[in-house]
Structure 1
Amino acid sequence: MGALVLTEGATFTPPGAESFELPPVFGFVTKPMLLVVLSVIIIATYFLLATRKLKVVPTKGQFVAEFIYDFSRNNIAREQIGSRDFKRFVPMIFALFTFILMNNLYGIIPFLQFPTMARFGFPVALSVLVVYPVYHYVGIKRHGIGGYFKKELAPAGVPGPVLPLFAVIEFAEKFFLNPLTLAIRVFAAMFAGHLILAVFTLGGTFLLTETSSIALKPVSLVAWIFAIGLTFLEAFIQVLQAYIFALLSAGYIGAALAAEH
């Protein structure tokens, strides 16, 4: 990304994709790897402590834990998969939601300030190695391999002349595009959000400390105000993207299990 010259001797280079290329902390281990491991520890520790001594009148910690679990169970898994089959998938949906949420929120936590889902490999791994095999497996197990492919690629009611084209499109969508777009949604949102926050934060710092123009220094305050406002917006998007990932994952499972209409 090109540098921007504001005053003589002061050059601002906006952050770009290189901002996500973090050097290894030690060996081949990078900061995002450590953050992923830390997220598992944080989530497990929190829910174990919050539910260790359950009370009829919940503490704040227990209330939050129960709310997150109930939201994952009833508002995501039950709604998308159906009351007949949803229970066995609740742990998976709950784990996906909390794991992605924690790793997204890193982007606004001071000193950490890096959403690990902005590294494409992490959402791809969740999509391709977790969600993708599960929803195809449960669909084949319920309908049989022939019945599953027939349901997905050649459902009743599709006119014969367009059936070959329909089958090709559905095959590409179900077996290639769905897992890819599932990963791209959260990756793109986290990547863009982190980049925008970095631009306003670093830009404000640059205007205050590096420019000699008195007229430009007050603009740094405007940049920081925008950064604060965008931080709240980014927090909302981080929660929303975790919800969307879990919602679509449950939706794919529900569609795979559903009978042909």
Structure 2
Amino acid sequence: MRTTILITSPDRFTAPGLELFDLPPIFAGGPEWLTKPVLIALLSSVVVIALCWAAFARPAIVPRGWQNLGEYAYVFVRDQVARPSLGKDADRWMGLLFTIFLTVLVWNLMGVIPLIQFPVAAHIAFPLVVAVGVYLIKLYLGIRHHGVRGYLKGIVHLPGLPWWAYSIYAPLILAEVFVTSLFTHFIRLFANMFAGHILLAFFSAVGFWFVFERLTPLGAGIGLLGVVMTIVLTAFEMFIQFLQAYLFAMLAAMYVASGLHGEH
């Protein structure tokens, strides 16, 4: 059962809420920034480094074990994330994209690991920092390869569009490239992990309360439903966690490509 059941009161069931994300420092009197999400993010980095070391430190001609798993993940990111957007430049950016995919995936999976049970990306600061990093890379590449004027022209120019329509089209596409794209990159990941964590916490709290805390003939059915829904949603959440890591990395590849090619 999830640790979020502690929010229930002795007399009545209280559904979990935003207090799930209001986490105090790990150590009393310690630094304010050292909270559970930060500790899990650090642990996630260690996990990603360990997995990559185990898979690629001593590569064999015939991959086995961790190397086989690592190469499968690498090929997936290369063929499904990097090449569709970056084409011939895909291999140059695989280090960044592979790291982003693995890091976000481990962040997300932490939400279903027993005793940890907190998806790092459900704390908005973490996906925001990665998205801002990709955003700055996009701007740097666009200006470096095309210059400010050429980059803006590549974004705004649309073949066949009448000159008078640019007064409407140009502000919209510039807002999408320089403002909206940043927010859509991290908000999608954050919102899905946030909502998934709330749902899992709610149904696991229902199951624990009505089965273990206040077992009654009438409440037993509700508690059993809570347990079943927790199991079903955990499986579904794992699929969403993988999907969101893939989408986040795919958008990163698209934004890097837009900087390299100077197009929206």
- TM-score normalized by structure 2? 0.90
1:210-249 equivalence runs, <5 A: 210-211=213-214, 213-249=216-252
Partner of 1:36: 41
Instruction: Please tell me whether residue 60 in structure 1 is matched to residue 61 in structure 2.
Output: no
How has the CA–CA distance of structure 1 residues 260 and 19 changed in structure 2, closer, same or farther, with 3 Å as cutoff? closer
Q: Which amino acid aligns with 1:18?
A: E
Q: Which amino acid aligns with 2:64?
A: T
Partner of 1:98: 102
Instruction: Please tell me whether residue 205 in structure 1 is matched to residue 208 in structure 2.
Output: yes
Q: CA deviation at 1:103?
A: 0.3
Identical counterparts, % of pairs: 38
Structure 2 Cα separation of the partners of residues 137 and 259 of structure 1: 11
Q: CA deviation at 1:258?
A: 2.7
SS of corresponding position for 1:25: coil
1:209-247 superposed Cα distances (whole Å, 9 cap, x missing partner): 333532212331221111101101000000000000000
Q: CA deviation at 1:189?
A: 0.4
Partner of 1:111: 115
Q: Which amino acid aligns with 1:51?
A: F
Gaps of 5+ in 1: 1-8
Partner of 2:6: none
Q: Is the 2:124–2:190 contact (alpha carbons within 8 Å) kept by the matching residues of 1?
A: yes
Q: CA deviation at 1:64?
A: 0.7
Partner of 2:139: 136
Q: Which amino acid aligns with 2:105?
A: L
Q: In angstroms, what is the RMSD of aligned CA positions? A: 1.6
Q: Is the 2:151–2:263 contact (alpha carbons within 8 Å) kept by the matching residues of 1?
A: no
Partner of 2:194: 191
Structure 1 Cα separation of the partners of residues 212 and 226 of structure 2: 13
Structure 2 Cα separation of the partners of residues 143 and 66 of structure 1: 35
Partner of 1:121: 125
1:12-58 superposed Cα distances (whole Å, 9 cap, x missing partner): 11111121111110222101001111111111112112223222222
Structure 1 Cα separation of the partners of residues 221 and 158 of structure 2: 63
Structure 1 Cα separation of the partners of residues 149 and 105 of structure 2: 37
| Segment drifting more, 227-236 vs 48-57 | 48-57
Q: Is the 1:186–1:245 contact (alpha carbons within 8 Å) kept by the matching residues of 2?
A: yes
1:145-189 superposed Cα distances (whole Å, 9 cap, x missing partner): 111001112334322112022111111111111011110000000
Q: Is the 1:77–1:86 contact (alpha carbons within 8 Å) kept by the matching residues of 2?
A: yes
Structure 2 Cα separation of the partners of residues 100 and 231 of structure 1: 18
Structure 1 Cα separation of the partners of residues 228 and 65 of structure 2: 31
Partner of 2:23: 22
| Segment drifting more, 28-37 vs 54-63 | 54-63
- TM-score normalized by structure 1? 0.91
Partner of 2:151: 148
Structure 1 Cα separation of the partners of residues 192 and 125 of structure 2: 15
1:64-123 superposed Cα distances (whole Å, 9 cap, x missing partner): 11111121222211111112x222211111111011000000000000000010000111
Q: CA deviation at 1:132?
A: 0.2
Q: Is the 1:155–1:260 contact (alpha carbons within 8 Å) kept by the matching residues of 2?
A: no
- Runs of 4+ residues deviating >4 angstroms: none
Q: Is the 1:140–1:148 contact (alpha carbons within 8 Å) kept by the matching residues of 2?
A: yes
Partner of 1:3: none
